[in-house]
Amino acid sequence: MTEDLLKTIKLNGAIPAHIAIIMDGNGRWAQARSLPRPFGHQAGMKAVREVVEGGLAAGVEVLTLFAFSQENWQRPPDEIDALMALLEEYIAKELDELRSQGVAVRMLGDLDRLSPGARAAVDRIMKETAAGTNLDLNICISYSSRAELTRAARKLAEAVAQGRLDPADIDEQLLARELYTAPWPDPDLLIRTSGEMRISNFLLWQLAYSEIWVTPVLWPDFTRQDLFRAILDFQRRDRRFGRVLA
């Protein structure tokens, strides 16, 4: 079934170059099994590998995953400590495989808030996978889209104050260049797991014209087959970007 889906989407062409994913449902997955929430986050690591390998197989160029928001810092300290430890564990387990597959990993967000161990692990994986050319994997950690936009506006304001920029020259392109995602095109497709119908302060600027695909599947149960279904649905859509096509 999975291989059939992959063959179908490759025959259809129009593979989304950039896919963004809101990885939601870890807590509910654990709750349904009477397990502590960190067990759900642990189970979600397998789904990350599934979408990375599925993205590579399908020919996706960029994957941007929403892993931990700035709002998540308000969660109980024990859960935050578990998440930081899990980030270190993920990097220790996956770094060699990601590097061998040509995956370049970038962590996007306010990384200064990470624990010392997590920050060291993040710096290591970004440095050691930087040469990857097969897939750009962006993992949003301590990320808030409103904070990202505020940061971009502040940087433009500083340039104006220093006389390096005329306010009249500020346009969409200049602002976009100050975002964390400046090196990549905007996502073609946004996937959200767990069935929730919201974007949760994720890539507010970048998702302006993205196609959205929501599945009730909880993140730990998400597989490359689900990824391929989302791509197939994307290929069936008529993307007009506000235009009326003759």
Residue numbers annotated as active site: 24, 72
Query: In this structure, what DSSP letter does residue 180 have?
Result: T
Beta-carbon count within 10 A of 148 CB: 25
How far apart, in whole angstroms, are the C-alpha atoms of residue 119 and residue 141?
A: 11
* Residue 66 bridge partners (DSSP): 22, 140
How far apart, in whole angstroms, are the C-alpha atoms of residue 64 and residue 54?
A: 14
Q: Give whole-number Cα distances, 72 to 16, 22, 188, in Å.
A: 29, 14, 26
DSSP string spanning 72-116?
A: GGGS-HHHHHHHHHHHHHHHHHHHHHHHHTTEEEEEES-GGGS-H
Residue 226: which residues within 8 A CB-CB, separation 6 or more? 215, 217
* Residue 19 bridge partners (DSSP): 63, 189
Query: In this structure, what DSSP letter does residue 201 have?
Result: T
**Strands, E assignment, 109-147:** 135-143
